Structure 1
């Protein structure tokens, strides 16, 4: 997520609305402004991705915009740039550019502003597929970055598959891993609660059919002795109340899902 507040890139014309030409030149000499390309300037503390997108000719879009906004996204291998239909694509690196350009007919936003959250999610669905769209959507709902009106607008622009995902989404998922697990287990028809509170245990990531706890440990280091001990105590307390706990980390959920799914299905079959 970007930690820089406010605008970071401007055209020369936009700067001239508040500064004289001599002042712009002075800010460049002092290193407070930098040239991005002809007629475009960036603040010294601007995010690198924002500057790269402006150098390409547009603003951050799709998964790059989602990450910039603080939405939960899977690994992002390339820079996604939102290009307005009336903009020109620039070559901005000596090596071949690997940016993914998103051309659409959206109304042009001032300067280099990001797309709206509904448009970011729409680009994600069309470009990166159902799962990446879904985890970002639930993250946006969790953080209050998309309201009921935005959801209606987004839903109206999606196909049937996308509309089903909007309807299936909830605002209570605490991480993209929880969203991903719940989506992938959808076909089994189990009742799955997220961030469920359990007596003697506390809040758990996912609770399936009222007894199987799924903990998604994410990317953080959960191998320290203190954290490992805390997890073991939680699992033991859960067992006292008749619950079974399965723990999976980021790598397992994202890259070894077959193993995760088999473990869950086999465990669920013990009480069928």
Structure 2
């Protein structure tokens, strides 16, 4: 793990560390083993870790959106909707869909969740592997447009009421 933090590209190392932290590896344990200036880049990767993400796609999408300047909260629980993968600027539900979302039964559940989230005032955007991994700038642009439109409408959802 320590070697990977020093050798892998930043996003790949981040995904690896978040996965390991979900398996019980302590970030403090890793940080203690990365002293000095030569490990500064590895410690910066540890600073990006958010234990709220539940998948590789969530980690990547969250990181790209935060780097674009958005406030992003992972795994926000909304009554009637369930857990949103990423809540951007308090108004856009970004769902990161892996292969499991292709099954017809899962797709119907996703449609119901999306409809409920929209009825509560959230905009909803769904992105798959190819867009998040291969075209993250497109994903960020689409989310930016949704945030801009949603904020212009006003009357944002109040999380404390949900």
TM bracket (short chain): 0.7 to 0.9
> Which segment is superposed worse, 226-235 or 186-195?
186-195
SS at match of 1:245: strand
Is the CA contact 2:14–2:48 (under 8 Å) kept in the aligned structure 1?
A: no
Aligned partner of 1:235 among 114, 117, 120: 114
Tell me what 1:132 maps to.
Answer: 12
Q: Contact (CA 8 Å) 2:101, 2:107: kept in 1 or not?
A: yes
1:210 aligns with 2:90: yes
- Select the structure with the greater relative contact order (CA < 8 A; seq sep ≥ 6): 2
Contact 1:213 1:246 in 2 (8 A): yes
User: In the alignment, which of 223, 238, 245 is matched to residue 102 of structure 2?
Assistant: 223
Once the two structures are TM-superposed, the CA of residue 155 in structure 1 deviates from its matched residue by 6.0
TM-score between both structures, scaled by the size of structure 1: 0.51
RMSD (Å), alpha carbons: 2.0
Cα 1:142–1:212 shift into 2, 3 Å: same
Residue number in structure 1 paired with 2:65: 185
Other structure's SS at 1:185 match? helix
Q: Is the 8 A contact 1:200 1:241 kept in 2?
A: no
Aligned length: 151
Provide the C-alpha distance between the structure 1 equivalents of 2:20 and 2:36, rounded to a whole number of angstroms.
Answer: 17
Query: Secondary structure of 1:154's match?
Result: coil
Structure richer in helix, relative to its length: 2
- Equivalent positions of 1:48-59 (< 5 A) are none
Residue pair 1:155, 1:162 contacting (<8 A) in 2 also: no
Question: Contact between 1:192 and 1:207, CA under 8 Å: does it hold in 2?
Answer: yes
Task: Tell me the residue number matched to 2:43.
Answer: 163
Contact 2:6-2:39 within 8 A present in 1 as well: no
Q: 1:156 to 1:207 in 2, by over 3 A?
A: farther
Using a 3 Å threshold, how does the CA distance of structure 1 residues 178 and 157 change in structure 2: closer, same or farther?
farther
Q: Secondary structure at the match of 2:137?
A: helix
> Which residue in 2 is equivalent to 1:257?
136
Q: 1:159 to 1:150 in 2, by over 3 A?
A: closer
Structure 1 SS opposite 2:125: strand
| Cα distance, 1:147 vs structure 2 | 4.8
- Structure 1 unaligned regions, length at least 5: 1-119
Structure 2 Cα separation of the partners of residues 269 and 147 of structure 1: 35
Question: Secondary structure in 1 aligned to 2:62?
Answer: helix
Unmatched 5+ residue regions in structure 2?
A: 153-162
Alpha-carbon distance in structure 2 between the residues aligned to 1:214 and 1:123: 32
Residue 101 of structure 2: SS of its match in structure 1? coil
CA distance in 1, matches of 2:125, 2:23: 27
CA radius of gyration, larger in:
1
